[in-house]
């Protein structure tokens, strides 16, 4: 039954009670049992975020003239980030935009590169060179902005190959993309080599530091040896860094920075013939709450370099403890050599999706990945206290997975749809089975070994997997 608009209003207490009850099936991020989506540091920081957010929640950042306080905070955040990422701009405030998240930051950077390309080669379709590990938002940007993706393979260490990128450069290249680090395996691309290629051909290069931007500089400060990844590297022309990831701010907070302010200008939109007045926009979104700006600003002020360095090192220590613990399980392999606080686990002998299901039965939330099948881990400061319990549950889950007649579920496209919404694995499994069954005209019922496995690749090629994902999004 569809929900009807309430005839009479309901008491505040009842509404709040229902809101709380809607949280009951959410991933348990408060206790560090979730390895995706939520970047949690300490509870008392959430209190500060809440208060700061509330102060500005109603204010609309779309008009800086009406809300100069928000404008000031955005400007200061950009200036602080410009310093953090070694941006040698003359006026750092002109070098960036505070956005709603990594996706918007990337969309603006790609739009700027496309405009730049169109100025140089009017009428031509620009190309983005990226590797298989780059975030899907670049594909989305290409889809929105009529650009072509030129995808290069990663090497065996899951790094973008500079040689492969070099081989794909053409007069239509509008942008080169590198990750610091990549989301799936947590690997930092060879930014310096890629920067040299970008410089040599005078092509913009974007560093996607959405996940790494607010941890890598602090890990370095804490003594961890890491390669340079920001504007200190010649050739890097733009960079995205999410405050709402390892900046531990509330969702809706990211920054995109440009080495040259004319590139940022390329991401702006103007319309001068509207009956409503002259219109100018620096964002993909229109109206924006001041809440995320205020919360991020407050947290940066409160933590400072020292606080962030402490949190970064806590996450790093927890991550190294996890990795050391995982070494004792010969069934599991870490993909590549993750340098920061994200990693992926694969297995030659176990079905890792089966393993994830076992762990989720024990209350852990873990993302599934593909090519190769693997499980994804984002380690934050809040995971410090769960390393031991996790490793104990992992040992049990490995034993259980060994006993199951594996194989079938690993081949399911289950991993492609995680993140769409939080569905229980079984619910998702049955939805997928029904969706696939109706598309492929095979019986909907049946055991787990229904004759559907192994079809992922052919489904991908025929476009049916895309349709299936749209079904789920619907
Ligand atoms: C490397 C990277 N880039 C981009 C994004 C997209 O960010 P958002 O989900 O904030 O839009 C993510 C998200 O995890 C990411 O890890």
pLDDT recorded at residue 1? 85
pLDDT along the chain (474 residues), means of 10: 93 98 93 93 95 98 93 96 90 90 98 98 98 98 98 96 98 98 98 98 98 98 98 98 98 97 96 94 96 98 98 98 98 97 97 93 93 95 96 97 62 43 44 55 36 54 79 82
What residue's CA is closest to ligand 1, atom 9?
A: 102
pLDDT recorded at residue 64? 85
CATH of the domain at 371: 3.90.1150.10
Angle at 56 between CA 54 and CA 59, to 5 degrees: 130
**Domain of residue 144, residue span:** 51-299
Residues 459 and 367 in one domain: no
pLDDT recorded at residue 458? 65
Residues 168 and 239 in one domain: yes
Q: Is residue 83 part of a domain?
A: yes
Residues 348 and 442 in one domain: no
Residues 206 and 80 in one domain: yes
pLDDT recorded at residue 451? 31
Tell whether ligand 1 has an atom less than 6 A from the beta carbon of residue 393.
no
Distance between first and last Cα of the chain:
17
Dig out the tokens for 298 from the structure.
């407050």
Residues 265 and 335 in one domain: no
pLDDT recorded at residue 430? 56
The Å distance, Cα 31 to ligand 1 centre, comes to: 23
- Angstrom distance (rounded) from CA 159 to CA 153: 9
Q: What is the mean pLDDT of the chain?
A: 90
Residues 313 and 440 in one domain: no
Tell whether ligand 1 has an atom less than 6 A from the beta carbon of residue 102.
yes
pLDDT recorded at residue 473? 82
The Å distance, Cα 16 to ligand 1 centre, comes to: 31
Residues 118 and 236 in one domain: yes
Phi/psi-derived region of residue 86, left when phi > 0, alpha when psi is between -120 and 50, beta in every other case: left
Tell whether ligand 1 has an atom less than 6 A from the beta carbon of residue 206.
no
Number of domains in the chain: 3
Where do we find the tokens 């997997």? Answer: 465
Q: Is residue 333 part of a domain?
A: yes
Residues 56 and 96 in one domain: yes
Q: Is residue 27 part of a domain?
A: no
CATH of the domain at 230: 3.40.640.10
The Å distance, Cα 263 to ligand 1 centre, comes to: 21
Residues 263 and 144 in one domain: yes
pLDDT tens, position by position, 297-315: 999 999 999 999 999 999 9
Q: 48 pairs with which residues across the strands?
A: none
Residues 211 and 245 in one domain: yes
The Å distance, Cα 210 to ligand 1 centre, comes to: 6
Q: Is residue 29 part of a domain?
A: no
- Taking a C-beta distance cutoff of 8 angstroms, is the pair 37, 27 a contact? yes
pLDDT recorded at residue 471? 82
Tell whether ligand 1 has an atom less than 6 A from the beta carbon of residue 135.
yes
**Domain edge (last residue) among 247, 277, 299:** 299
Q: Is residue 165 part of a domain?
A: yes
What residue's CA is closest to ligand 1, atom 8?
A: 102
The Å distance, Cα 318 to ligand 1 centre, comes to: 22
Dig out the tokens for 428 from the structure.
């998702």
- Angstrom distance (rounded) from CA 17 to CA 23: 10
pLDDT recorded at residue 435? 57
- Taking a C-beta distance cutoff of 8 angstroms, is the pair 61, 297 a contact? no
What residue's CA is closest to ligand 1, atom 5?
A: 102
- Taking a C-beta distance cutoff of 8 angstroms, is the pair 102, 137 a contact? yes
**pTM recorded for the entire structure:** 0.90
Residues 131 and 266 in one domain: yes
The Å distance, Cα 441 to ligand 1 centre, comes to: 36
pLDDT recorded at residue 346? 97
The Å distance, Cα 412 to ligand 1 centre, comes to: 24
> Which of 38, 137, 187, 246 is the best mutation target for the ligand 1 pocket, counting ligand atoms within 8 Å of the beta carbon and taking the most?
137
Phi/psi-derived region of residue 162, left when phi > 0, alpha when psi is between -120 and 50, beta in every other case: alpha
**Domain edge (last residue) among 262, 282, 299:** 299
Residues 186 and 313 in one domain: no
């Amino acid at each position: 039954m569809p929900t009807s608009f309430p005839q009479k209003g309901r008491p505040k207490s009842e509404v709040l009670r229902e809101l709380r009850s809607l949280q009951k099936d959410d991933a348990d991020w408060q206790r560090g049992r979730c390895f995706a989506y939520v970047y949690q540091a300490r509870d008392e920081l959430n209190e500060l975020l809440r208060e700061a957010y509330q102060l500005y929640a109603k204010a609309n950042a779309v008009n800086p003239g009406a809300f100069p306080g928000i404008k000031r905070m955005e400007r200061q955040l950009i200036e602080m980030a410009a310093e953090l990422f070694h941006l040698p701009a003359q006026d750092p405030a002109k070098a960036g935009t505070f956005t709603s998240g990594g996706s918007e930051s990337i969309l603006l950077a790609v739009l700027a590169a496309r405009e730049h390309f169109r100025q140089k080669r009017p009428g031509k379709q620009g190309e983005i060179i990226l590797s298989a590990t780059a975030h899907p938002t670049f594909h989305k940007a290409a889809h929105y902005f009529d650009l072509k993706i030129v995808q290069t393979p990663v090497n065996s260490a899951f790094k973008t190959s500079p040689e492969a990128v070099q081989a794909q450069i053409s007069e239509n290249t509008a942008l080169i993309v590198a990750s610091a680090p990549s989301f799936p395996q947590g690997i930092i691309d060879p930014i310096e080599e890629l920067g040299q290629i970008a410089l040599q051909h005078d092509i913009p290069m974007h560093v996607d530091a959405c996940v790494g931007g607010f941890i890598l500089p602090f890990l370095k400060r804490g003594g961890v040896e890491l390669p340079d990844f920001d504007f200190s590297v010649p050739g890097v022309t733009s960079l995205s860094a999410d405050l709402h990831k390892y900046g531990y701010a509330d969702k809706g907070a990211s920054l995109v920075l440009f080495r040259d302010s004319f590139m940022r200008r390329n991401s702006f939109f103007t319309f001068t013939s509207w009956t409503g007045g002259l219109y100018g926009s620096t964002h993909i979104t229109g109206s924006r709450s001041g809440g995320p700006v205020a919360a991020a600003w407050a947290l940066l002020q409160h933590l400072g370099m020292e606080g962030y360095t402490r949190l970064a090192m806590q996450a790093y220590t927890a991550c190294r403890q996890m990795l050391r613990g995982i070494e004792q399980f010969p069934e599991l392999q870490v993909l590549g050599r993750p340098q920061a606080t994200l990693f992926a686990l694969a297995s030659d002998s176990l079905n890792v999706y089966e393993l994830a299901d076992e762990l989720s039965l024990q209350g852990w939330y873990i993302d599934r990945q593909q090519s190769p099948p693997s499980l994804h881990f984002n380690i934050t400061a809040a995971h410090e206290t769960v390393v031991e319990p996790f490793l104990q549950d992992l040992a049990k889950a490995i034993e259980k997975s060994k006993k199951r007649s594996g194989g079938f579920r690993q081949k399911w496209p289950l991993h492609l749809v995680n993140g769409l919404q939080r569905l229980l694995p079984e619910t998702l499994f049955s939805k997928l089975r029904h969706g696939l069954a109706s598309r492929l005209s095979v019986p909907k019922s049946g055991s787990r070994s229904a004759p559907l496995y192994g079809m992922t690749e052919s489904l991908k090629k025929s476009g049916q997997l895309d349709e299936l994902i749209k079904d789920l999004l619907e």
